[in-house]
């Protein structure tokens, strides 16, 4: 009954265009933030951090990044894995070359480097769209993985060809390396998720977000209204890659600690993040979170249900996971192409009228 | 060339100024097809200028030349007393030329408000970083432009649908939202490609009234393509008539109506 906009009159345009126009939503948003920042860090353990929360947060950043490009600007990209690898290798090089600089700076710089690389690979989007662009970004994916495998400078000539994160500190707390506390892992990811989500929301609700969406919906009309397609598409690629680079950096440095590029950042990763965007909802920041949560939680939930509760062999359970996820993606594409975010929106619209839906 | 300073007041009290846009000897070819053949005409400040002609006459191509989609092979486009070099459409938009499309070209995934706000794009200057942090400047700019948009929403009487996604609107309202989006740019020259196509009589009357009001209240120069002769003859100050890519008539509605070439083009002529 609290979910109402009736009686909540907006008297300024600022109030009218805020992110959560309904008071209940605003409270829920602050409550989620408060729990995430003030409660979870005290209760988090190794299992929750490594199996659920840290991957969820990192994938949420990647999904926000891809959603900006694909959901808001309409440019399909299959290069996410490659761009995450750029972030990972950038942060690795920065960490080893400048060991004394704060990890926070390194991660942001890794994002910036990825943004430049992303804009570079976004250049073909000025000429081609749709499937053809997807194939062009696929080329980026394979090229980048090949590059990081072939050029030893990127992995500091290590014998295994892997990169592994040395121990680095933020405010005296180890955030990378073997001695990192789960809470530290979680908090640094949460910090970047919070910042990225707010930045993404601000960008997408302003002028630049509208020019992205205009390009997505009708590029000819966008141009006639004054959108420079070059600028709009390249900024979308750059901003999207910035977020994806940050997520790649966190994925390597904070989550895995050591990666082999083809395994960690292969084409599978590109598809996984794309599925998160599709299932969560293209063109929605909330959808990025929902999609990331869904695809991180689903395998865990299936594993707990199949292996621990029902006692099935783990192999069968892991195969069933694939079948199940594939089936769900098809189900979503057919039944709700706008994803979980749209289901959420519909629920909210119903709630507004509840219990008198007329 | 006509005298730029030559301005006059119409019977209904509007001031028609000097030449705003001057098309000189425009020829446009697609491969071997000549869509527009050596056409010259001008559009004066403050007037409603209609371009009419049978299907395939090259009217839409003409509009596309004005809005920068096509660059003509021959001829010059003069805007506000300056020769316009070949430009991209978004650059033309920044000169102050806005348009609507024959088939509605709204951004279907966005709300009415966002669609119209997109029309303000050429007026918004905040950089990407400022927007990302949503600092004072970006927020202030958003609010100021929202005010401008709300004036247009009031003007076109679409307050009730401002938060509705465009894809849910009926045809007539979409046409109106598209007009709103073009108006939001505060253009000096507004191009309308068949603003009344597919409308019923009442909707046509509404649209005609809006076009006249836009012209009267904002002083916007309007160039429009329309097939409904009744409407064209009623609202326009001067009419260009095209047929097979040529200009066959140019003048006030009554002059055009009595032009033998125009009558032949529309009614057909006996080939003996």
CA atoms of A278 and A186, how far apart (whole Å): 26
Chain centroid offset of residue B259 CA? 25
Burial of B266 (0-12, 13-18, 19+ CB in 10 A): middle
Model confidence band, residue B272 (pLDDT cutoffs 50, 70, 90): low
Q: Do B90 and A221 touch (CB under 8 A)?
A: no
A175, containing H or E segment:
strand A173-176
Residue B6 has pLDDT above 70, yes or no: no
* Cβ–Cβ contact A224 with B under 8 A: yes
Half-sphere exposure of A8 (CA within 13 A, CB side): 15
Q: What is the DSSP letter of B165?
A: B
Which of A220, A225, A229 faces B93 most closely, judged by CB atoms? A225
Closest C-alpha among A266, A22, A205 to residue B132:
A205
**Phi then psi for A106, rounded to 5 degrees?**
-60, -45
pLDDT of residue B225: 94
Residue A123 has pLDDT above 60, yes or no: yes
Instruction: State pLDDT tens for residues B32-45.
Output: 889 999 999 999 99
The mean pLDDT value for A73-97 works out to 95
Model confidence band, residue A73 (pLDDT cutoffs 50, 70, 90): very high
ipTM of the complex: 0.88
pLDDT of residue B2: 44
Closest C-alpha among B14, B55, B36, B42 to residue B226:
B55
**Phi then psi for A282, rounded to 5 degrees?**
-70, 140
Residue A3 has pLDDT above 80, yes or no: no
DSSP, collapsed to helix, strand or coil, labels residue B248 as strand
Which of A17, A211, A221 faces B142 most closely, judged by CB atoms? A17
Give the count of domains, chain A: 1
- Helices A314-335 and A285-303 pack at an angle, to 10 degrees, of 150
The answer to whether residue A153 sits within a structural domain is yes
The answer to whether residue A99 sits within a structural domain is yes
DSSP, collapsed to helix, strand or coil, labels residue A289 as helix
Model confidence band, residue A325 (pLDDT cutoffs 50, 70, 90): confident
Residues 110-149 of chain A whose Cβ lies under 8 A from any Cβ of chain B: none
Q: Which two tokens stand for residue A182?
A: 């789960």
How much is the mean pLDDT over chain A?
Answer: 90
| Confidence (pTM) | 0.91
Name residues whose C-beta falls within 8 Å of residue B30's C-beta, 6 or more positions apart in sequence: none
Query: Can you give the three-state secondary structure of A321-351, one letter per residue?
Result: HHHHHHHHHHHHHHHCCCHHHHHHHHHHHHH
CA atoms of B200 and B185, how far apart (whole Å): 28
Residue A23 has pLDDT above 90, yes or no: no
Residue B167 has pLDDT above 50, yes or no: yes
Asked, as a colleague might, if the bond just before A355 is cis with ω within 30 of 0, I would say yes
Q: Do A217 and B108 touch (CB under 8 A)?
A: yes
Model confidence band, residue A357 (pLDDT cutoffs 50, 70, 90): low
Model confidence band, residue B1 (pLDDT cutoffs 50, 70, 90): very low
Q: Do B105 and A218 touch (CB under 8 A)?
A: yes
Nearest chain A residue to B89, by CA: A224
The answer to whether residue A235 sits within a structural domain is yes
Q: Which two tokens stand for residue A298?
A: 């689903």
pLDDT of residue A251: 96
* Cβ–Cβ contact B142 with A under 8 A: yes
The answer to whether residue A330 sits within a structural domain is no
DSSP, collapsed to helix, strand or coil, labels residue B51 as strand
Q: Residue A12: list chain B partners with CB under 8 A.
A: 143
Residue B5 has pLDDT above 80, yes or no: no
- First CA to last CA across chain B, in angstroms? 38
Q: How many CB atoms lie within 10 A of CB A273?
A: 30
The answer to whether residue A43 sits within a structural domain is yes
CA atoms of A223 and B77, how far apart (whole Å): 20
The answer to whether residue A301 sits within a structural domain is no
pLDDT of residue A204: 93
* Cβ–Cβ contact B127 with A under 8 A: no
The answer to whether residue A237 sits within a structural domain is yes
Cβ(A217)–Cβ(A74) below 8 Å: yes
- Residue numbers of the domain that contains A160: 21-265
* Cβ–Cβ contact B99 with A under 8 A: yes
Q: Do B128 and A12 touch (CB under 8 A)?
A: no
The answer to whether residue A79 sits within a structural domain is yes
SS3 helix, strand, coil % of chain B, rounded to 5?
A: 40, 25, 35
Q: Do A226 and B90 touch (CB under 8 A)?
A: yes
- Helices A229-250 and A80-97 pack at an angle, to 10 degrees, of 60
pLDDT of residue B3: 44
CA atoms of A121 and A137, how far apart (whole Å): 7
Nearest chain B residue to A217, by CA: B107
* Cβ–Cβ contact A217 with B under 8 A: yes
The mean pLDDT value for A278-305 works out to 90
Which of A207, A218, A224 faces B131 most closely, judged by CB atoms? A207
């Amino acid at each position: 009954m609290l979910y109402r906009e009736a009686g909540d009159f907006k008297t300024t345009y600022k109030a009218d265009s805020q992110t959560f126009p309904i008071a209940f939503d605003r409270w829920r948003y602050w409550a989620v933030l408060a729990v995430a920042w003030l409660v979870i860090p005290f209760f988090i353990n190794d299992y929750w951090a490594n199996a659920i929360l840290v991957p969820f947060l990192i994938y949420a950043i990647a999904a926000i990044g891809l959603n900006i490009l694909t959901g808001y600007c309409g440019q399909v990209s299959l290069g996410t894995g490659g761009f995450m690898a750029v972030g990972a290798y950038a942060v690795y090089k920065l960490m080893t070359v400048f060991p004394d600089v704060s990890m926070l700076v390194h991660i942001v710089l890794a994002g910036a480097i990825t943004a430049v690389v992303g804009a570079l690979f976004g250049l073909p989007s000025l000429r081609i769209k749709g499937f053809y662009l997807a194939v062009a970004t696929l080329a980026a994916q394979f090229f980048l993985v090949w590059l990081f495998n072939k050029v030893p400078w990127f992995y500091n000539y290590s014998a295994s060809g892997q990169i592994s994160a040395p121990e680095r500190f933020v405010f005296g707390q180890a955030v990378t390396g073997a001695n990192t506390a789960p809470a530290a892992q979680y908090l640094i990811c949460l910090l970047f998720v919070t910042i990225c989500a707010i930045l993404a929301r601000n960008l997408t609700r302003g002028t630049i977000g509208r020019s992205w969406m205009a390009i997505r919906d009708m590029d000819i009309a966008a141009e006639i209204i004054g959108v420079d397609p070059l600028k709009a598409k390249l900024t979308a690629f750059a901003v999207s890659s910035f977020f994806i680079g940050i997520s790649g950096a966190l994925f390597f440095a904070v989550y895995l600690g050591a990666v082999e590029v083809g395994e960690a950042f292969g084409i599978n990763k590109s598809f996984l993040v794309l599925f998160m965007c599709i299932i969560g909802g293209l063109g929605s920041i909330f959808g990025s979170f929902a999609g990331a949560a869904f695809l991180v939680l689903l395998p865990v939930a299936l594993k707990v249900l199949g292996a621990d509760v029902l006692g099935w062999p783990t192999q069968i359970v892991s195969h069933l996971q694939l079948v199940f996820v594939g089936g769900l993606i098809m189900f979503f594409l057919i039944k709700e192409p706008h994803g979980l975010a749209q289901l959420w929106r519909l629920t909210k619209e119903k709630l507004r009228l509840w219990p008198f839906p007329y | 060339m006509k005298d730029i300073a030559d301005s006059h007041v119409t019977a209904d009290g509007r001031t028609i100024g000097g030449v705003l846009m001057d098309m000189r000897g425009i020829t446009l070819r697609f491969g071997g097809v000549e869509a527009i053949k050596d056409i010259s005409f001008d559009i004066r400040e403050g007037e409603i200028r209609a371009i009419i002609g049978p299907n395939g006459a090259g009217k839409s191509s003409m509009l596309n030349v004005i809005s920068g989609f096509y660059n003509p092979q021959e001829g010059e486009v003069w805007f506000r007393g300056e020769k316009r070099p070949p430009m991209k459409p978004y650059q033309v938009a920044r000169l102050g030329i806005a348009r609507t499309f024959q088939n509605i070209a709204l951004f279907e995934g966005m709300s009415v408000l966002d669609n119209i706000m997109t029309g303000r794009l050429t007026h918004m200057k905040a950089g990407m970083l400022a927007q990302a942090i949503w600092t004072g400047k970006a927020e202030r700019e958003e609010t100021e432009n929202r005010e401008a948009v709300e004036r247009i929403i009031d003007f076109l009487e679409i307050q009730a649908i401002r938060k509705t996604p465009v894809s849910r609107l009926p045809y007539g309202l979409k046409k109106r939202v598209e007009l709103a989006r073009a108006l939001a740019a505060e253009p000096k020259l507004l191009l309308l490609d068949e603003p009344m196509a597919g409308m019923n009589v009442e909707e046509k009357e509404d649209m005609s009234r809006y076009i006249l009001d836009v012209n009267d209240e904002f002083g916007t120069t309007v160039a429009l393509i329309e097939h409904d002769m009744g409407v064209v003859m009623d609202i326009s100050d001067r009419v260009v008539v095209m047929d097979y890519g040529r200009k066959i008539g140019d003048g006030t509605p009554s002059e055009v109506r009595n032009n033998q070439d125009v009558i032949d083009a529309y009614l057909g002529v006996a080939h003996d």
